[in-house]
Amino acid sequence: MPEIHFQIQYPDGAQATCYSPSLVVKEYFTPDTEYSLDDFVDRSRTALNIASDRVKAKYGFPCGLALGQLQEIETKASEYRQMSQPKVRFLKFIE
């Protein structure tokens, strides 16, 4: 399966490189675009669950890396919930 990495910037300026085992994330994110924190988490949840399901369909088991990435995004996002209108910038795909 074609995998992809992508770079994001959290509301405090911290950057992270994320992983998806599928290019499906390209259907949910646009480079150099800002998303509300909740929208970003929702899009990530949808895309990474689809990616994990694609791995499961092909190999018989879900993708632990995709699910781990989702958990990392959800955990990190919880740090910004108290902010007023937190935004996450989707910087780029790394191919």
pLDDT digits (tens, 9 = 90+) for 55-78: 999 999 999 999 999 999 999 999
Q: What is the mean pLDDT of the chain?
A: 96
The model scores a pTM over 0.85: yes
Decide if pLDDT at 1 tops 80.
no
Give all strands (DSSP E) within 1-95, no chain letters: 4-9, 15-20, 33-36, 87-94
Domain boundary assignment for the chain: 4-94
pLDDT digits (tens, 9 = 90+) for 5-26: 999 999 999 999 999 999 999 9
Residues 23-43, mean pLDDT to the nearest whole number = 98
Distances (CA, A) of 35 to 8, 20, 41, 89, 90: 10, 19, 9, 6, 8
Cα separation, 84 vs 73, in Å, equals 19
Decide if pLDDT at 95 tops 90.
no
